[in-house]
Amino acid sequence: MSSRRRPHLFVLIDALGWQVIQGRNFLSDILPHRAPLRTVLGYSSAAIPTILTGVPPATHQHWNLFYYDPTGSPFRWLRHFRFLPDALLDHRVTRRLLKEMGRRWLGLGPLFECCVSPRILHLFNWVEKRNIYGRRGIVGAPSIFDRLAEAGIPYHVYSYHDGSDDAVLRRAAQDIETGDGTFFFVYLSEMDAFLHYHRGDPDKVAAQLASYELRLRALFATARKVDPEVSLTVLSDHGMTPIRAKYDLLAEIGGLGLRMPDDYLAVYDSTMARFWFFSNQARDKVTAALRALRCGRIVTDAELERLGVLFPDGRYGQLVFLLDPGCLFSRSDFNGQGWSPAAMHGYHPDDPDSEGIFLANRPPARAVRAIGDVFACMQDAAR
Ligand SMILES: [Zn+2]
């Protein structure tokens, strides 16, 4: 009898929503224990750290990627260039240059993107400086990988840092065969981009799911050869909601006669706008304009707190405006011009299209309803 621990595989498929797999037999024969997972308000930058730590963004401190930090900003030096005209300062070449600088010289990690206007970038910091899949990669809480390392449990984690989904799955299969790990966390990132474009095309979605199904079946078969008792869990961080309407909030707020950054700051993500105010007049004007809109609403502090994303110091915004499911800002800092997705995520967690998935070959030892509950399953597996 071998003293090896039973291997556990967790595969996170970014953005594969419960509604996308509903009515399809995606791996239902080998993974019969299935549940929708409630996500957190925000994007993968908030959801994946929640999965990896089991605590909400307000605790692990990763919400949106940019946060207000005028004294700690790695781009403070940019304030000397504020005299430059927008045509130059906000040019796509300037943004690309800032992206490269952030990645290569400012220690912001390989995923840094310049999704804030360069005119106000000197006031912002970037939360994902470290690899969130590495040791101490998450600012405010230990992740499952920290726990595994402390417990001396050999594990493997794979993400886009290791190549394409195909490359990642091949490497995972090799490592499982060599048998030098008992805990495998495989992050597959490519489904997100696919669904942004093709969420509404049933044939393309079916073909894409079939291709993942094939590769995951092969991975499971490999693992079962090593140990027939292996456990496999396939999960996702959030879903994907079809786009039905677009709204140009940038034009609306830009037309209020307020100056940025003197009167206020605004960061426009795909589905959320975050504001900071430096005068009562700015706060009143923006608040009144947002209240008059029908495409979304201001999320109150009480609700942000219930959702686990309230930051009392206002670093992620003193006021948060959230679009209704299916609405999209026609211009934002996050989506470059010309990017026109058919589907988006980052809506209220109550939106059924925003739900993620939990699919397992064995019944979980506890109820799994929200993405943060997966952490406890991973801890159980690591015992
Ligand atoms: Zn996405």
- The model's confidence at residue 292, banded by pLDDT at 50, 70 and 90, is very high
115: pLDDT strictly greater than 50: yes
161: pLDDT strictly greater than 80: no
Calculate how far, in angstroms, residue 63's C-alpha sits from the geometric centre of ligand 1: 15
336: pLDDT strictly greater than 60: no
Calculate how far, in angstroms, residue 2's C-alpha sits from the geometric centre of ligand 1: 43
Calculate how far, in angstroms, residue 229's C-alpha sits from the geometric centre of ligand 1: 34
Calculate how far, in angstroms, residue 150's C-alpha sits from the geometric centre of ligand 1: 32
Calculate how far, in angstroms, residue 228's C-alpha sits from the geometric centre of ligand 1: 35
Calculate how far, in angstroms, residue 195's C-alpha sits from the geometric centre of ligand 1: 8
Res 246: pLDDT: 93
Q: Cα–Cα distance between 330 and 269 in angstroms, integer?
A: 11
In terms of DSSP bridges, do strands 356-360 and 231-235 run parallel, antiparallel, or are they unpaired?
antiparallel
Query: What's the rounded mean pLDDT across residues 184-196?
Result: 96
Percent of the chain at pLDDT exceeding 70: 94
349: pLDDT strictly greater than 70: yes
**Run of H or E including 10:** strand 8-13
pTM above 0.95, yes or no: no
Calculate how far, in angstroms, residue 191's C-alpha sits from the geometric centre of ligand 1: 9
Calculate how far, in angstroms, residue 340's C-alpha sits from the geometric centre of ligand 1: 12
Q: Cα–Cα distance between 364 and 383 in angstroms, integer?
A: 14
Res 1: pLDDT: 38
Calculate how far, in angstroms, residue 302's C-alpha sits from the geometric centre of ligand 1: 27
Across 47-51, 152-156, 222-226, 268-272, which has the greatest mean pLDDT?
A: 47-51
In terms of DSSP bridges, do strands 343-344 and 356-360 run parallel, antiparallel, or are they unpaired?
unpaired
Calculate how far, in angstroms, residue 335's C-alpha sits from the geometric centre of ligand 1: 11
Calculate how far, in angstroms, residue 180's C-alpha sits from the geometric centre of ligand 1: 33
Res 2: pLDDT: 45
Calculate how far, in angstroms, residue 380's C-alpha sits from the geometric centre of ligand 1: 29
Q: What is the largest CA-CA distance in the chain?
A: 76
Q: Which residues surround ligand 1, an ion (CB under 5 A)?
A: 192
